[in-house]
């Protein structure tokens, strides 16, 4: 089983072929192909290639959907001053299916 570590959206993800991952939102439509060119590591179980800092290989995926995560509530409260505030946030994401580690 081939695995890779890719970098996108300021984060690193460990991926394998056929896996679905949720990453930071990309400006692509559903069904489009996506190439991740910042590959930090590729391993097939026996051989491991580590980039310094990145490899010249690519990971290819397909955009499944774009959406927003569940709401996270943030509450602020100060005692004895009648101050309380509740704010919600929904983080946008893109779900990608990894098709090929080249």
Which residues are CB-neighbours of 84 under 8 A, at least 6 positions away?
Answer: 75, 76, 77, 78
The total number of structural domains in the chain stands at 1
CB 36, CB 26: distance < 8 Å: no
What pLDDT score does 48 carry? Answer: 94
Structural domain boundaries, residue 40: 3-101
66, β-bridge pairs: 94
The per-residue pLDDT for range 35-79, each reduced to its tens digit, is 999 999 999 989 999 999 999 999 999 999 999 999 999 999 999
Name the nearest CA neighbour of 61 among 10, 26, 11: 26
DSSP state of 82: T
Name the nearest CA neighbour of 96 among 6, 27, 19: 19
What pLDDT score does 102 carry? Answer: 86
What pLDDT score does 8 carry? Answer: 96
pTM of the entire predicted model: 0.85
The per-residue pLDDT for range 27-41, each reduced to its tens digit, is 999 999 999 999 999
pLDDT higher than threshold 90 for residue 15? yes
| Cis? peptide before 12, omega within 30° of 0 | no
């Amino acid at each position: 089983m081939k695995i890779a570590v890719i970098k996108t959206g300021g984060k690193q993800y460990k991926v394998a072929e056929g896996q679905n991952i949720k990453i930071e939102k990309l400006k692509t439509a559903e069904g489009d192909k996506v190439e991740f060119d910042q590959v930090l590591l590729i391993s097939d179980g026996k051989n491991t290639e580590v980039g310094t800092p990145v490899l010249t290989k690519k990971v290819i995926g397909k955009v499944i959907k774009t959406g927003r995560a569940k709401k996270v509530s943030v509450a602020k409260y100060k005692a004895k001053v009648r101050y309380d505030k509740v704010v919600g946030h929904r983080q946008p994401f893109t779900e990608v299916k990894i098709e090929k580690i080249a």
